[in-house]
Each structure stands twice: as C-alpha cells, then as structure tokens.
Amino acid sequence: MRALDKRLLRTVDRSRLQFLAIIVVIALGLMALVVLNNAYQNLDGAMSDYYERQSFAHLFSEFVPQPPDYVEGLRDLPEIREAEGRIVTDIRADIGRDIHPELHMVALPEEGDINRPLVLQGHLPGQKDRNEVALLAGFAEENDLQVGDEIDLIVREEAIRVRVSAVVSSPEFLYPITDISRVFAPDNEYYGIAFADLDFAADIVGMPGQVNQATFMVAEGHSLESAEEAVRDAMGGRGLMRVITRDDQLSHYSVSLRTGQLEDLASSIPLIFLAISAVIIYMLLMRMVEADRTVIGVLKAIGYSDGEVLMHYLKYALGMGFVGALLGMVIGHLLVRPVTETFFLEFFDMPLLQVQTDWSLIILGSLLTLVFCVGTGMWATRTVLQITPADAMQPAAPPPGQKNLLERWFPRLWSWLAFTTKLMLRQLLRNKKRFALAVLGVAFAYTLVVLPFYMLGILDAIVFEQFDEFEVYDYAVSFNEPISEAGIAQIREEADLKQIEPLIEYPFEARNGWRNETVPVRALPEGGTLQRFQNARGQRISIPTSGVLVCEYMAGALNVGPGDDVLLSSHITDEHEHHIPVKDVIRQDLGSGMYVSHQTMQAMTGDGDAYTGAFVQSTDDIRYRLRHAFNVKSITSVDQMVEGIDEMMGLVIALCTILVLMGGVFAFAILFNIATVGIMERTREFSSMRVLGYDRKSIYHIILHENILATIFGLILGAPMGHMTFVAVVEAFQRTEMIYLPVPFHPGSHVAATMLVCGFVALVMMAVRVKIRNLDLLEALSSRMT
Amino acid sequence: MSDEIIRAENLSKEYVQGDVRVGALQDVSLEVRTGEFIVIVGPSGSGKSTLLNILGGMDVPTSGRVIYAGRDLAELNESELTEYRRSEIGFVFQLYNLMSALTARENVQLATELVSGALDLDEVMEKVGLTDRMEHFPSQMSGGEQQRVAIARALAKNPGVLLCDEPTGALDYETGIRILALLRELNCDYGTTVIIITHNLAVADMGDRMLRMRSGQIVEQRENEEPLPAERIVW
Ligand SMILES: Nc1ncnc2c1ncn2[C@@H]1O[C@H](COP(=O)(O)OP(=O)(O)O)[C@@H](O)[C@H]1O
Ligand SMILES: [Mg+2]
C-alpha cells in the first residue's frame, strides 16, 4: 500500500466516530433512495397494471334510476369509449352476528368489462345461479367467510339468502372506503363490499330494468375533464347527482395520496441526506487541508504533483461515499420488501403487487453519491492548488487579530467576561460561517424531529377535535327512503333514543360565476347540538335560519366569502338554481360540504319533512337495537371509527419514531463534526492554554458553551422553520376536496422536539468530551506536522 | 565548466506585503559544481531560505534565472517543475516535517514511491543509522532521529542535489554534529551535491565552499582547501 494511503487510513482510524457519522448519513440517504423509489415503483406499477387489467373506470356518475340503454347511449359521446350501467346500493347483511354489517353492493352487468373484480377464489356471480354474491377479500377474511358460505342480504324488510360464490379483489376498492371520514382506517369488520349480478340486484332492490350509476372509459385523446364535462352536459336534467373522475374516487384517491407522498419523499429525502453529508464533508476536508498546509507543502516539495495531493484528500470523500453508498444500498435492498409490506400492503389490496428491485437505482445512487461527495470534495480541497512547496517552510500565518463587534461596542461588558468566555466568543465571531452552519444544523435536526410530532398532533386533532368538538354524535344513520318527522319519532321510540337530530343531505351543484363544484349539502335542525361548527377565526357558529355555511375548501374553490351568494341546484330541485347567501366559512378537515337549516333546504327542494338521515346520541349500541329497522341503510359508529384510527396510530407512531431517529443521526453527524472541526482548528490554541495551566475541563467548557449557544439559536430558528415546513407539506398534500387540514401552531410538538434536540446535543457533547480527552494537545506544540 | 550542476544568474526576489516591499534577494549569482558541499551562512532574514527555495524549484525569482544541468527552470511547465523536484532535488527542513501518522520507514517510502531510480530503502535506513527505528512513529523518536528520517527521505530518491535548510537548527550540539557528519558522508559516498544553510559560522569550515549572505546579497565567498571534518567543529 502506498504510504499516503496508509496515512489516510490512520487518519480515518483516529477520527472514527466523525467519519462514521458521515458514512451513516450517506448510507441513510441511499437507503432511502433504494427503499422509497422501489416501493413507489412497485406500488405505482402494480396499481397501473391492475387498473389496466381490470379496466378501472375513468369516470363515475350517480343519478336517479334510469334504464340501461340511456347509459349505453352515452357511448355515442366522442369523449367516451365505453359506458356501463350498474346498480350501487348500501344494504345490510346478516352473517350470524348480533350486529348486521353494512354491505356496499355493486351490481355489474354480466357481460361488462369496466371495474371487473379480480377473482381470488371461486367464480363471479352470474345469471345461471342468481342468488350469489362475491365478497371483497378484506371483509371476507375479517369475518371468516368462505366461498360456499351462505349469508342473508337484508333489503327492504326482507332477508334474501345468497351464497358466497367468490372472494375477490377490485380495482375500485384497493382501499375499501366509500366515505372520506374512513380515510385513516377502513373498517373491514362492519363494512364490506359485495358484488352481485345486475339483474339479480335490480330485482331485490326494486329497480327492475334500471341502473343508478354509470362507469365510463374515456376515449383516447380526450382528457378526463373534458369527458367529465361532456357526461355532465349529456346527463344534466336527467336526475344526475354527481359525476366524479377517478381522481376523486375514494380508493384511488387514498392510494394515490400515499403513492404521491411516496414519490415526493423518494425524490427529496435522499437528496436532503446527501446534501447534508456534502456539507459535512466540505467542512471536514476544508479544515483538513487548512490544517495540513505544511504537509501539502512538503509533499509538493518532495515532488508530488497537484493531482496526486488532491487525490489524497479526495480519497476521504470517495471512501466515505463508497462505504456509505454500499452500506445504504445493500440495507436498502433488504428493506424494500418489509417496508412495502408493512406500510402499504397492510392497507391496500394489491394482488398484482410484485416486490421487485430496480437495479438502475444502483447506478443512480452511485452517480448521486459521486456527484455529491466528490463534487464537494473537489470544491473543498481546491485550495490545495494554492499551497506552494515553500509553504512547507512557513508556519501558518496567524489569523488576523482584530477586535470583534462585542469588544468594540461594549468594551465594559467585554472586560467583565471570563477569559474562556472571551475565547469562545472571539472564535465564534471570527468564524461566523461555521457558527451559522452549526445553528442551521440544529435547526434542521429540529425540523426533522418536530415534523412527526406535528403529524401526530394533527392526526390527534382530526380524530379527537373532529369527534369531540365538531361531530359529537355517537352514530350517523342514513335511510333508504326519506322519512317524515313521524318516522323519526318512531325510530326514537323503537330504539329508545335520548337524542336524535334528523338531517337532509343531497349532492348539489354549487356555482359562483364560471366556477362550479359538486358538493354535498346537509340540512340540520336549527339549535341542533350534535354537529357543531367553527369559523376560520375559531368562533362557534350555529346553523343559520337562512343562508349557508361553506367549508374552507369550497369557499376557496368557488371564491366565495361571507356576504356572497352561491347558486345551488340539484336533481332534487329539478335543476332549479337557488341564490343562497354565504353566512360564514367554516373549518372542515375531512371531506367538504355546505350546511343549511332544514327550512332553507325545504325551501329549495319544495318537499316537506323528508329526512335522509339522522345523528343519534346514545350510550347503547343502536346498531343492535335498529337491526330490524329496514329503512335504515347504514349506521356509522363514531366510537368504532376512533378505535380503528387508534389502531392505525401504532403504525404512524412507528413511522414517526424512524423520522425522529433519523433526525437524531442528523443532529449528531452535523454537530459532532462541527465541534470536531472546531477542535482541530484550535489545537494549537488549546495546547497553549494547557501549557498555561488550563485543564481539559476548561477547554471542554469552551466547546460546550459554543454548542449551547448554537443550540439556542438553532432552536429559535428551528421552531418557525419546522412549522413552516409542515405547513408546506400539508399544503402540498392535504389541501384537497377530501382532506383540508388546519395547521395550528402546536406547542406540545415544539416542547417535545426541543427536549429531543437537547438530548442529541448532550450526546454530541459526551462524544466531544471523549474526543478532547484523547487529544494529545502537547503533541501539537512539539511538532508542526500532522 | 563541464561539472557545473546549477548556475544562478542575477537572482532577485521581492515580496510585496501591503505597501511594503521586501527585497529578499538582490542580484545574486552563483555556480554550483557537481559533488560540491556548500555551506551558506548569514543572519536571520538575510535571504538564505529564499535562495534555497528558488534553487529547489519551490519558488520563482522576481528576476534572474536558474539553470540546472543546462536547463532553464523558468522554461519548465508546472509538471516539468514537479518532475524536477521529484527526481533532482532532495529537501531537508529545519523542523523535519515528517508525517506523524506514518512510521519512519513509511515516511521514507513516501519519497521512494515517487521515483524509479530510488535507492534501496533498507540500505538508506542503515546509512542514516535507523535500522532499529524503522517502525517507530515520529512522536516516538528524538529530534535527531526525526531529522535522520527526513534526510533518509530526501536521500532515498537519489537526487542530484540535497538542499538542507538549517538541518541542525532545532537540535542540540552533539546531535547536530552527527547530522552534519552524516551529510558529509553521504556527499562523499554518493557524490550527491549538498547545499546546507546555517546561521552557525563554525559550520562554515566543513564545506568545500562557504557563502556568506547579508541583506539579500552574497557578501563573501570562500573556498576551503582543507574542509574540516564535522567531528572537529566546535561551537
Ligand atoms: N513569503 C514571504 N512573504 C513575505 N516576506 C518574506 C516571505 N518569505 C521571506 N520573506 C522575507 O524575505 C527576507 C528573507 O527571508 P529568508 O530567506 O527566509 O531569510 P533567512 O532564511 O536568511 O532567515 C526576510 O526579510 C523575510 O521576512
Ligand atoms: Mg531561513
């Protein structure tokens, strides 16, 4: 081995921890690159394959029942390649349990192509044997139902015995939810998806020769939006309730929300890690070259060329890059499968998913490492070229001594300070760039650490605020057929309910000028207490007698505010537009809606008391009490929803722990390196102090105080930085029609992050202490060379 | 002259520091013969190191030129100059300038790896009397031993010229004498041209020729018919 390479290895060995920290950061970056990109590609690929194979619809429309040839006629639209009518309805099923789970029944034409379920076991229900259903795998597994089992469908006061003919998976239900409030935790126990034959379903739900939904494939060369517009125009006036594109379809929305996040993380996280390691490498090499001034001079005097000397220093960067990249990519490849399975297959039903590794990522990773490590290495060591062989003879020029700002402006204060404090402040003011870097390092680590806390905090807010403050009912009930006041009274009596508040809800078309949106409009009783509202300023709002409350997302999308009018129309108003004044803009985290009083709704629809649902407060399980109330389409239990979310929180917490740990590694790598470089830089100064009689402790204290100062500034900077980063993340991902998260300043998260960052700093200081203890300070004085 | 190895013609060197111009060398001319042992003496700041650095291709004069074995150093490009330092010059510094992370042997290797015609490493180590110190690190050696390593490092490349800038400056009397004797021995055995700088006048008697410098100029040149062996120098 060449003598210079031996020197390199020994230097590395001498500062093991420092090099290790950098290697870990590089390794984490490449690990993230491999894991995230592979997971993303696998999921995205599996999703596209699946959609392709099972013809996942581009468009969905819902309308009051129509004959199927009406839907088929829509194929003539140039934007539409294929159209299929189907019946979708919510029923309940008696599967031998006390509580009858809800079944979201999708009835497809036998000859159809669109949204075909993928049979995992058995065969799809057909006309030959009509009394059959296929169950989505999640529900079947959760309830231990197998092909051949018999269950009762409860439809219109009748129990219809059917046989489970298949267990399936469906492109429409990769994530089995049909209501956005379920986005964090689907409920496979009480909510199932069933597929039936169209004619059979038409018979049992009383829609012979009719369909209530249509699915469409868009013709090539047409955009989703233009096709959506065309369908809306063609169906308008024929009882159209809403048209949605697959982007708004809940399963697809949920999956692509995750894959979208994954894609963004996959392209940003590795770069952040590599950039950080580049900064540390830069500092380290820069420092090394400066400290090695004489060495470089000697090497050049002996006859080493610029290139050879440069290469010597580049090898540090290359070596760290190589080891880090290798480590990161190997571990990354091992983690692709478990990560994909834990974080995605747990939620999404992707039978076609194949966990593969994309080997081109290795090339990408190597190139990125090379660019980051070697690039910064070259930049940091460029001063090697300016050092002449004659520098071997010159002791490094002492840094220009100059009174610093503090000294000049507050001489009194300055003279009053202890010597070590002066030394620290002088160093700090002399090397502002490095101090700034240390501050940034702390701020960055803080940001990393505070984000997961924010995430948890926000989830917590959604779950608990939403259900404790805004939706305080225990159950939401919806009916098959609208019922009158008397019907409500009957239910109240039947189930012995303390409190029940009837509601009317229909999808409306809301318009303001050229802007229009489809939005559910819910009518609530004036003075009701089970759903509450808060405006953007945090004030409690109650349902106004006239006028409408609009959620933030819709207010933005329609560009309306208090005092403006919106135009509301619906199939229930016979497409007649009503001018309704906006009373206030309200917070709504999940989903988006508008809220009016019963009176306002009735004025629009012209109907009397025709309630489509109700909120109920009850400590008993009304799902059991109402199991024979046949007009009840569905009952959602808030408790159970919260339970489901709680369960999922475990995983979120695991994810957050990983983030916090990464923040810790970062903090350590940055701060430890900055501190070490600071020691290297001042070895002679410290040695002189030792000779003067200062002990190691006072030297340690100088470094300690510097770090404490950097930490304090870093925390002050980190708090707003973390908050803003989170706001940016939320704005990018979660400000949609489906989820519109508020981002309050969250003091608890900041307290936790502050404590953790201080803990990391303490760890760094412990390592620094060892470093100082092992440093032979006198050696620095006795010989000039390193 | 056929055995001339270095000729310096009218060398001047000016350093500019802010508004101050320092004339470190003023119109210095010098001829060095192959195998000669030259001692340069003079007070601190008189330009000795500057002259040596220019001869060694480590610094360039403000005016004047250096001809080495018939070639003008000013006409060499960067890599030719490196090549010149690599194969023709061996440098010994006052403060040894060894790499603390390398053993004695490795410090010498640092130089031998660079050239193809290097001397045998063990032989050189034996020559400087460090056979039993080969695996020691600089921090484990005395100043004299460290300087021997530095000399071995310069010598092992088998250079045409050994340039030594105050090689005994940091050493005690006895050790200094031994180092000087070693240099003289190498000069005789290998025929290597040696130029050493010292501010110690007594050393002047051991060279084939003595140059005295003051204020950037050579103020005296003296040939020694009978150079004194190092062991007999007293100061
Ligand atoms: N790099 C430099 N920059 C400025 N002045 C220098 C530099 N090197 C040497 N000098 C000046 O040139 C003069 C000669 O220096 P030097 O050759 O080192 O003297 P000597 O080796 O005889 O003690 C001195 O006055 C010194 O201050
Ligand atoms: Mg000198």
**CB-count exposure of residue A346 (10 Å: 0-12, 13-18, 19+):** exposed
Average the pLDDT over B98-104 and give the result.
89
Contact A11 B83 (CB under 8 A): no
The residues lining ligand 1, judged by C-beta closer than 6 Å to any ligand atom, are B 15, 17, 22, 24, 42, 44-50
Q: What is the pLDDT of residue A777?
A: 56
**What residues in B contact A299, CB-CB < 8 Å?**
110
B12: three-class secondary structure by DSSP:
strand
Amino acid of residue A264: D
Q: What is the pLDDT of residue A341?
A: 83
The residue written with tokens 């990769």 in the block is A174
Tell me the pLDDT band of A295, cut-offs 50, 70 and 90.
confident
> Is the pLDDT assigned to residue A401 strictly greater than 60?
no
Q: What is the pLDDT of residue A81?
A: 93
**In percent, how much of chain A has pLDDT > 70?**
95
Q: What is the pLDDT of residue B16?
A: 85
Euclidean distance between CA atoms B235 and B177, whole angstroms: 10
**What residues in A contact B48, CB-CB < 8 Å?**
none
Average the pLDDT over B192-215 and give the result.
90
Average the pLDDT over A692-698 and give the result.
77
The residue written with tokens 């964090």 in the block is A184
Q: What is the pLDDT of residue A584?
A: 94
State the DSSP string of A736-771: SSSBB------HHHHHHHHHHHHHHHHHHHHHHHHH
Q: What is the pLDDT of residue A403?
A: 66
Q: What is the pLDDT of residue A714?
A: 92
Q: Is B83 on the interface with A (CB under 8 A)?
A: yes
Average the pLDDT over B147-176 and give the result.
89
DSSP-derived letter for residue A471 is: B
> Is the pLDDT assigned to residue A487 strictly greater than 80?
yes
Q: Is residue B67 part of a domain?
A: no
Q: What is the pLDDT of residue A780?
A: 54
> Is the pLDDT assigned to residue A399 strictly greater than 70?
no
Tell me the pLDDT band of A677, cut-offs 50, 70 and 90.
confident
Q: What is the pLDDT of residue A786?
A: 39
Residue A45 bridge partners (DSSP):
none
State the DSSP string of A40-51: HHHHHHHHHHHH
Average the pLDDT over A545-560 and give the result.
93
User: What ipTM is given for this predicted complex?
Assistant: 0.88
B50 Cα nearest atom in ligand 1:
17
Q: How close does chain B come to A397, measured CA to CA in Å?
A: 13
Higher pLDDT, A670 or B29: B29
Q: What is the pLDDT of residue B94?
A: 82
Q: Ligand 1, atom 16: nearest CA belongs to which residue?
A: B47
B165 Cα nearest atom in ligand 1:
21
Q: What is the pLDDT of residue A737?
A: 73
What's the pTM?
0.81
Euclidean distance between CA atoms A180 and A198, whole angstroms: 26
Euclidean distance between CA atoms B153 and B138, whole angstroms: 13
Tens digit of each residue's pLDDT (9 = 90 or more) over A146-199: 999 999 998 877 889 999 999 999 999 998 888 777 777 788 888 899 999 999
State which residues form the domain around B178. 35-54+86-232
E strands, A610-746, are 611-617, 632-637
Q: Is B114 on the interface with A (CB under 8 A)?
A: yes
Higher pLDDT, A117 or A100: A117
Q: How close does chain A come to B66, measured CA to CA in Å?
A: 17
Mean pLDDT of all residues in chain A? 86
> Is the pLDDT assigned to residue A257 strictly greater than 70?
yes
Which of A746-755, B29-38, B121-130 has maximum average pLDDT?
B29-38
> Is the pLDDT assigned to residue B37 strictly greater than 90?
yes
Residue pair A509/A569 in contact by the 8 Å Cβ criterion: yes
Contact B82 A302 (CB under 8 A): no
List the shell of residues around ion ligand 2, using CB closer than 5 Å: B 49
> Is the pLDDT assigned to residue A757 strictly greater than 60?
yes
Average the pLDDT over A387-397 and give the result.
69
Tens digit of each residue's pLDDT (9 = 90 or more) over A617-648: 988 888 888 877 778 888 888 888 888 777 77
Q: How close does chain A come to B17, measured CA to CA in Å?
A: 13
Q: Is residue B21 part of a domain?
A: no
Which residues 6+ apart lie within 8 Å of A26 measured at CB?
A: A273, A274, A277, A320, A321, A323, A324, A325, A328, A369, A373
Q: What is the pLDDT of residue B7?
A: 94
> Is the pLDDT assigned to residue A398 strictly greater than 60?
no
Tell me the pLDDT band of A57, cut-offs 50, 70 and 90.
very high
Tell me the pLDDT band of A785, cut-offs 50, 70 and 90.
very low
Ligand 1 center to B92 CA (angstroms)? 18
Task: Please report, for chain A, the start and end positions of each structural domain, with discontinuous segments joined by +.
Answer: 1-56+253-398, 80-218, 405-467+640-786, 475-618
Tens digit of each residue's pLDDT (9 = 90 or more) over A497-526: 888 999 999 989 999 999 988 899 999 999
> Is the pLDDT assigned to residue A229 strictly greater than 60?
yes
Q: What is the pLDDT of residue A671?
A: 80
Average the pLDDT over B18-28 and give the result.
88
Tokens of A237: 């006036």
**In percent, how much of chain B has pLDDT > 70?**
99
Contact A10 B102 (CB under 8 A): yes
Q: How close does chain B come to A441, measured CA to CA in Å?
A: 31
Residue pair A31/A332 in contact by the 8 Å Cβ criterion: yes
**What residues in B contact A783, CB-CB < 8 Å?**
95-96, 98, 100, 138-139
Euclidean distance between CA atoms A468 and A14, whole angstroms: 58
Euclidean distance between CA atoms B124 and B133, whole angstroms: 13
Tell me the pLDDT band of A137, cut-offs 50, 70 and 90.
very high
CATH code for the domain in which residue B118 is found: 3.40.50.300
State the DSSP string of A155-200: ETTEEEEEEEEEEEE-GGGSS--SSGGGTT---TTTEEEEEEEHHH
Tens digit of each residue's pLDDT (9 = 90 or more) over B52-67: 999 998 888 999 999 9
Average the pLDDT over B138-142 and give the result.
89
Tell me the pLDDT band of A396, cut-offs 50, 70 and 90.
low
CB contacts < 8 A, A to B, total: 100
Cα A589 → chain centroid: 15
Q: What is the pLDDT of residue A783?
A: 47
State the DSSP string of A654-677: HHHHHHHHHHHHHHHHHHHHHHHH
Q: Which of A60-64, A434-438, A750-754, A758-762 has the lowest mean pLDDT?
A: A434-438
Ligand 1 center to A781 CA (angstroms)? 23
Which residues 6+ apart lie within 8 Å of B50 measured at CB?
A: B13, B24, B25, B59, B216
Q: For a ligand 1 pocket test, name from B12, B49, B165, B215 the mutation site with the most ligand atoms within 8 angstroms of its C-beta.
A: B49
Q: What is the pLDDT of residue B235?
A: 64
B216 Cα nearest atom in ligand 1:
14
Ligand 2 center to B16 CA (angstroms)? 18
Ligand 2 center to A369 CA (angstroms)? 45
Q: What is the pLDDT of residue A784?
A: 42
Total domains, chain B? 1
Q: What is the pLDDT of residue A355?
A: 83
Q: Ligand 1, atom 3: nearest CA belongs to which residue?
A: B15
